[in-house]
Amino acid sequence: MSAAKLEFLREGREDTMLETDQTHAFERYKVKIDSGRIERRVRLNNGLKHLFSLSTVFALVVLAILLYRIGVQSAGWLDLQFLTSNLSRFADKAGIYGAILGTVYLMLIVVPVTLILGVSTAIYLEEYAAKGRIQRFIKVNISNLASVPSVIFGLLGLAVFGRMLNLGSSILAGGLTMSLLVLPTVVVASQEAIKAVPGFLREASYGMGADKWTTIRKVVLPVALPGILTGSILAMSRAIGETAPLVVLGIPTLILKIPDSVMDDFTALPIQIYYWTLDTVLTPEYANLAAATIVVLLAVLFILNSVAIIIRNKFQKRF
């Protein structure tokens, strides 16, 4: 309650509150309205609103410059020959066929491994685990694992898969390292999807005499599938762009042979970008090759993300 009104009440003159001549009332009770101050406040509000909007515009502009630059640098280099030929010492003959295959092989390991591990973990946490210490421990562990820098996963892969299991820098070692890296993403997405399955579906299934595992297999998982798929596609697009763990595993610079089994050494799209960027000092044309590879990589990511969005919008049932 304002001071002016208090004074009204104290003096028992509520009736004067009805006074129509506002300025008169304000003057009598010494309430000043500083119209200049209000104007300043409004002006500050509008000014800063526009300043703040510039921040979002800034992000937009950077994105535009980045895409434009890469488009310009790759122009003329990105053609069918670039996609279908293998690495070469000569910039105009080099292609990324091997790198594309390497990325595909990598995904052939990452996708099934993360799906099996991730969905199982989510099922355990959401369906089987009793609320308590173990469940909380696993959840805390997963959220911490999600924020471990990717280069540390590279060190883990180097020590465990590379040296201890003697897989070296093969597709298998790279794929398993990458799987552990993106596992938390798949677990969290699957958990959300399973959580969103309404209880009445489960109860209906139990009511029909189905046991827990049958209910999970025939009711919960089919309903949660779009969510799980969306999450794993996003995890996959992260794995495709991730470079550091593979470099730490010691993927060699020049592979002139196309890999034909999971035990072979390989190269992948981001690795190729990395080496070509590093070697621009010696051969300036490598910058164009790197840019062309980036275009391919971004196109793949764009397609994957679009598919994820389509699945989410089209197949997600709301109850």
Partner 1 sequence: MSQDTHVRQLIQTNILNKKHISDRFMPKFFFVMAFVSVFTTFGIIITLVTDAAKFFSQVPVAQVFSTKLAPLAAEPSFGILPLITGTIITSMIAMLVAVPVGLTAAIYLSQFASERTRRTLKPIMEVLAGIPTIVYGFFAYSFVTPLLMKLIPTLGAKNALSPGLVMGIMIIPLVASLSEDAMNAVPNIMREGALGLGSTRLEVTFKVVIPAAISGIMSSIVLAVSRAIGETMIVTIASGSSKNFTLDITQSMQTMTAYIVEFTSGDAGSGTVGYYSLYAVGLILFLFTLVMNLIAQHISHKYREEY
Given the structure tokens 């990589």, which residue do they identify? 297
Contact status, residue 190 vs residue 223, Cβ threshold 8 Å: no
Q: In this chain, which of 107, 123, 220, 223 binds partner 1, going by CB under 8 A?
A: 123
**Is residue 150 within the footprint of partner 1 (CB under 8 A)?**
yes
- Toward partner 1, which CB reaches closer, 174 or 184? 184
Of residues 231, 241, 113, 237, the one with CA closest to residue 173: 113
**Is residue 306 within the footprint of partner 1 (CB under 8 A)?**
no
The interface with partner 1 within residues 77-106 (CB under 8 A) comprises none
Given the structure tokens 């694992």, which residue do they identify? 145
To the nearest whole angstrom, how small is the minimum distance from the Cβ of residue 281 to partner 1?
Answer: 8
**Is residue 51 within the footprint of partner 1 (CB under 8 A)?**
yes
Q: In this chain, which of 221, 287, 307, 311 binds partner 1, going by CB under 8 A?
A: 287
* Angle subtended at Cα 208 by Cα 205 and Cα 210, rounded to the nearest 5 degrees: 65
**Is residue 175 within the footprint of partner 1 (CB under 8 A)?**
no
Residue 229: count of CB within 10 angstroms of its CB? 20
How far apart are the C-alpha atoms of 161 and 100, rounded to whole Å?
Answer: 23
Judged by CB under 8 A, the stretch of 16-24, 42-50, 78-86, 258-266 that binds partner 1 is 42-50
How far apart are the C-alpha atoms of 76 and 308, rounded to whole Å?
Answer: 31
Q: In this chain, which of 154, 174, 175, 227 binds partner 1, going by CB under 8 A?
A: 154
**Is residue 294 within the footprint of partner 1 (CB under 8 A)?**
yes
The interface with partner 1 within residues 6-25 (CB under 8 A) comprises none
To the nearest whole angstrom, how small is the minimum distance from the Cβ of residue 223 to partner 1?
Answer: 18
* Beta bridge partners of residue 265, listed in sequence order: 170
* Signed CA dihedral, 247, 250, 253, 259: sign only: negative
Residue 102: count of CB within 10 angstroms of its CB? 26
Q: In this chain, which of 6, 33, 66, 108 binds partner 1, going by CB under 8 A?
A: 66
Helical ranges in 18-132 per DSSP H: 22-28, 35-74, 80-84, 97-123
Q: In this chain, which of 25, 31, 145, 201 binds partner 1, going by CB under 8 A?
A: 145
- Toward partner 1, which CB reaches closer, 305 or 316? 305
The interface with partner 1 within residues 196-235 (CB under 8 A) comprises 211-214
**Is residue 279 within the footprint of partner 1 (CB under 8 A)?**
no
The number of residues making up the chain comes to 319
- Toward partner 1, which CB reaches closer, 11 or 63? 63
**Is residue 184 within the footprint of partner 1 (CB under 8 A)?**
yes
